[in-house]
């Protein structure tokens, strides 16, 4: 059984997708946030998942917040920490502590559009494809070995909101899949590349 801790900052729809996927041999130990009003916390608590919120404004600096968050995370002895819409930049120390067991979902086809406002920027750049990326987290923002990417078309009529919705539907499929692959030991990191060993079991899970 693999212990997973999920960090969110708001709605938590990606966290919900992971919980609802009921991934074999995965236990969602806790959902943590920097925002006590994050809607996803209440959703998780209703399902008897441990939750906690640490308000980053209560800490003198980024390092102090990250240390407190790490202490909270470590209570659950996670095999994997998932950043699912966690909107805080993490210190290099935090990234190093969870190296190889910290993944993030980002709403663009990295390395295009790291940072914020990804859908607006994809539209402004005239992209015909947009998408999302799941990657292992390294100290550099929105970098790190890519586990999976999903692409969607950009339509002439798109706004940042309609594009975000199309990408989000793909995020909800890709993130549970990546967690399942990690938990089953199917991901191998080599330099900046991740290879995944697919098995019949994995394909059966993904086709559901």
Binding site for ligand GAR (CB under 6 A): 8, 10-14, 84-85, 105-107, 132, 168, 171
Least distance between ligand GAR and beta carbon 4 (Å): 15
Q: Which CB atom, from 29 or from 119, has the smaller least distance to ligand GAR? A: 119
Residue whose Cβ sits closest to ligand GAR:
85
Q: Are strands 2-8 and 129-136 parallel, antiparallel or unpaired?
A: unpaired
Least distance between ligand GAR and beta carbon 82 (Å): 10
Least distance between ligand GAR and beta carbon 11 (Å): 4
Distance between CA 143 and CA 172 in Å, rounded? 21
Q: Which CB atom, from 38 or from 201, has the smaller least distance to ligand GAR? A: 38
Q: Which CB atom, from 10 or from 196, has the smaller least distance to ligand GAR? A: 10
Tell whether omega for the bond before 165 is within 30 degrees of 0, i.e. cis. no
Q: Which CB atom, from 165 or from 199, has the smaller least distance to ligand GAR? A: 165
- 106 carries an active-site annotation: yes
**Which residues, 6+ apart, have CB-to-CB distance to 106 below 8 Å?**
114, 118, 132, 133, 134, 135, 142
Catalytic-labelled residue, pool 56, 106, 119, 135: 106
Least distance between ligand GAR and beta carbon 114 (Å): 8
Catalytic residues: 106
């Amino acid at each position: 059984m693999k212990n997973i801790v999920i960090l969110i900052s708001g709605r938590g729809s990606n966290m919900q997708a992971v919980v609802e996927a009921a991934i074999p041999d995965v236990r969602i130990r806790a959902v943590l946030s920097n925002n006590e009003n994050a809607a996803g916390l209440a959703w998780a608590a209703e399902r008897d998942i441990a939750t906690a919120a640490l308000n980053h404004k209560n800490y003198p600096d980024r390092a102090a917040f990250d240390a407190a968050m790490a202490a909270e995370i470590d209570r659950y002895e996670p095999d994997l920490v998932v950043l699912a819409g966690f909107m805080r930049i993490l210190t290099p120390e935090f990234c190093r502590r969870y190296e190889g067991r910290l993944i993030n979902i980002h709403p663009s086809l990295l390395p295009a559009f790291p940072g914020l406002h990804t859908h607006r920027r994809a539209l402004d750049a005239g992209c015909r494809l947009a998408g999302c990326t799941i990657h292992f987290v390294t100290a550099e923002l929105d970098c790190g070995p890519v586990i999976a990417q999903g692409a969607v078309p950009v339509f002439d009529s798109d706004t940042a909101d309609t594009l975000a919705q199309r990408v989000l539907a793909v995020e909800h499929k890709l993130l549970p899949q990546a967690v399942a692959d990690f938990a089953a030991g199917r991901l191998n990191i080599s330099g900046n590349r991740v290879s995944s060993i697919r098995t019949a079991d994995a394909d059966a899970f993904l086709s559901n």
